[in-house]
């Protein structure tokens, strides 16, 4: 169920043509695990060269499994994918030469110093001797770890480890960079540093595919994004396009125990109402003009004797997009029960 797609999804016959030149293309990509777990369910993706593409979803949505398949670490159960124009199964070795990877679990060897780790990483990509030393120094400078370069990585803070991991993914100037939750667990300052890094890397021509569970990260950093939930892509587009689909303004009613059905009935036919989404003990009304709707909303609630705790007006966020697509909010990771037919246009 894709809400909308701005990445022209071509008819099957034109797949090859459409995917030519794409940094990443996946068709019907699927991964099942033992015990009937469908981690990724037949997803289609196209990421253009030079994009920062975000994969937004809660824990367990299938983000990491997708990244592992695209990085050749895990074979798909079915479907196919190409990275830098190469098939991830058939041309795995060549794909590995073209990609940089920083996985969610920061892959650092605690026994080595930052410099040793980068020099070894250079060596594994064929950059040896003086060239390797120079490249390691360059990357240490890039991620601001020169002062800590001679320390073993086990003494690094979370932010430093993340930056070193990022640097180690860049030794060979990859065409496509995969970042699996690059800022999870980081303090806000470190998060901003990583964002700056990602922007700089992207500005030099590297396509970036990043997964995140942070709305702000997807919003601020990504040219385009896909929302993944329970192994399926449920929405795709630029952050602006996705938010624009939601309507103009959101009026949120905190119900504080008021009857949901009665409140919905009272507001039905509200002028300018584009969509209503029911949340536990709350209603989100997507309206043409939030400020001018408030008077009418209050009048109707008053007429029907419905008391609400608060009414707020805001612009739709990616969380609203996520709510509409999945029936729950991503912010705070609350597991709310999905209400059938909750979203009505």
CB 178 within 8 A of CB 52: no
143 binds another protein (CB under 8 A): no
Distance from C-alpha of 313 to C-alpha of 291, rounded to nearest angstrom: 7
Give me the least distance between CB of 125 and another protein, in Å please: 7
* Three-state SS at 248: coil
108 binds another protein (CB under 8 A): yes
Q: Identify which of residues 105 and 141 has a Cβ nearer to another protein in the complex.
A: 105
32 binds another protein (CB under 8 A): no
How many residues touch another protein under the rule CB under 8 A: the total is 29
Residue from 194, 201, 195 nearest 219 by CA = 195
Of 75, 158, 205, 280, the one binding another protein (CB under 8 A) is: 75
Residue from 57, 75, 89, 99 nearest 231 by CA = 57
Q: Identify which of residues 103 and 143 has a Cβ nearer to another protein in the complex.
A: 103
Give the pairing type, strands 22-33 and 37-48: antiparallel
Q: Identify which of residues 28 and 129 has a Cβ nearer to another protein in the complex.
A: 129
Distance from C-alpha of 43 to C-alpha of 82, rounded to nearest angstrom: 13
**CB neighbour class for 254 (10 Å; exposed up to 12, middle 13-18, buried from 19):** middle
Give me the least distance between CB of 77 and another protein, in Å please: 12
Of 7, 46, 65, 121, the one binding another protein (CB under 8 A) is: 121
Distance from C-alpha of 131 to C-alpha of 138, rounded to nearest angstrom: 10
Q: Identify which of residues 105 and 289 has a Cβ nearer to another protein in the complex.
A: 105
125 binds another protein (CB under 8 A): yes
**CB neighbour class for 210 (10 Å; exposed up to 12, middle 13-18, buried from 19):** buried
73 binds another protein (CB under 8 A): yes
107 binds another protein (CB under 8 A): yes
280 binds another protein (CB under 8 A): no
160 binds another protein (CB under 8 A): no
Give me the least distance between CB of 211 and another protein, in Å please: 15
In the block, tokens 């997964």 appear at 211
> Which of the residues 208 through 237 are near another protein (CB under 8 A)?
none
Of 124, 134, 192, 203, the one binding another protein (CB under 8 A) is: 124
Give the pairing type, strands 176-180 and 207-212: parallel
- Summarize as ranges the residues that interact with another protein (CB under 8 A): 71-75, 93, 96-97, 99, 101, 103, 105-112, 116, 120-121, 123-126, 128, 152, 168
């Amino acid at each position: 169920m894709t809400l909308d797609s701005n990445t022209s999804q071509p008819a099957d016959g034109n797949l090859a043509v459409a995917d030519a030149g794409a940094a990443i293309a996946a068709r019907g990509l699927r991964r099942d695990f033992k015990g009937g777990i469908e981690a990724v369910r037949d997803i289609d993706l196209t990421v253009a060269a030079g994009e920062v593409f975000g994969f937004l979803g809660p824990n367990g949505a299938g983000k990491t499994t997708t990244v592992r398949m695209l990085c050749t670490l895990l074979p798909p159960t079915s479907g196919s994918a190409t990275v830098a124009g190469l098939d991830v199964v058939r041309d795995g070795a060549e794909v590995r030469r073209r990609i940089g990877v920083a996985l969610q679990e920061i892959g650092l060897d605690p026994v080595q110093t930052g410099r040793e780790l980068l020099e070894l990483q250079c060596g594994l990509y064929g950059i040896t001797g003086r060239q390797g030393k120079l490249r390691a120094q360059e990357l240490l400078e890039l991620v601001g770890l020169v002062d800590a370069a001679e320390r073993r990585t086990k003494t690094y803070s979370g932010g430093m480890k993340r930056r070193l991991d990022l640097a180690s993914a860049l030794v060979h100037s990859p065409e496509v960079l995969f970042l699996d939750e690059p800022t999870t667990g980081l303090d806000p300052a470190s998060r901003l540093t990583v964002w700056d890094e990602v922007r700089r890397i992207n500005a030099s021509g590297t396509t970036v595919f990043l997964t995140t569970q942070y709305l702000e990260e997807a919003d601020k950093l990504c040219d385009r994004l896909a929302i993944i939930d329970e192994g399926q892509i449920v929405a795709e587009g630029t952050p602006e396009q996705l938010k624009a689909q939601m309507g103009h303004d959101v009026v949120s009613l905190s119900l504080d125990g008021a009857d949901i059905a009665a409140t919905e009935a009272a507001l039905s036919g509200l002028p300018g109402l584009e969509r209503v989404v029911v949340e536990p003990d709350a209603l989100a009304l997507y309206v043409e003009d939030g400020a001018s709707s408030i008077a009418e909303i209050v009048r109707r609630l008053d007429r029907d004797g419905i008391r609400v705790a608060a009414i707020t007006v805001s612009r739709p966020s990616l969380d609203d997009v996520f709510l509409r697509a999945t029936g729950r909010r991503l912010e705070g990771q609350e597991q709310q029960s999905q209400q059938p037919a909750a979203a009505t246009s």
